[in-house]
Amino acid sequence: MATRAPPRFVPTLTEVVQGGAPPAQAAVAARDAAADAGPQLSQEQLAQRVLQRLDLTLDRRVREAISTVILEQTSALGPLLRERLEAVVRQAVAQAVAEELKARQRPGARGV
């Protein structure tokens, strides 16, 4: 079986936690709590339900995060874009004026 690396943003366990109850007792307690909560779900069904909830939550949160970044970048980009456009327009006007003055100084140039 080939092992795959998990996706980049999947939380992973970084610390081993020692619980008070032995693993067998913890499993029995979890099973009893699940039995009290309602009908039994298979691991596959439980995984599907968790993934569905996670998908909705992640979709909303990712959209919010992207929106925030886009707004921040747009706000920062406005003044820079205005500055660059102003420089381009100034350069184009200066070049057009210089060419016009040069054309007027040529001998035999007619006035427009």
Query: What is the tens place of the pLDDT at every residue in 35-75?
Result: 555 567 888 888 888 898 898 889 899 999 999 999 999 89
**Number of neighbours of residue 71 by Cβ within 10 angstroms:** 10
Predicted confidence (pLDDT) at residue 81 exceeds the cutoff of 80: yes
Question: Where do the domains of the chain lie?
Answer: 41-105
Full-model pTM: 0.37
- What single string gives the DSSP state of each residue in the chain? ----PPPTT-----S----SS-HHHHHHHHHHHHHHHSS---HHHHHHHHHHHHHHHHHHHHHHHHHHHHHHHHHHHHHHHHHHHHHHHHHHHHHHHHHHHHHHHSTTPPP-
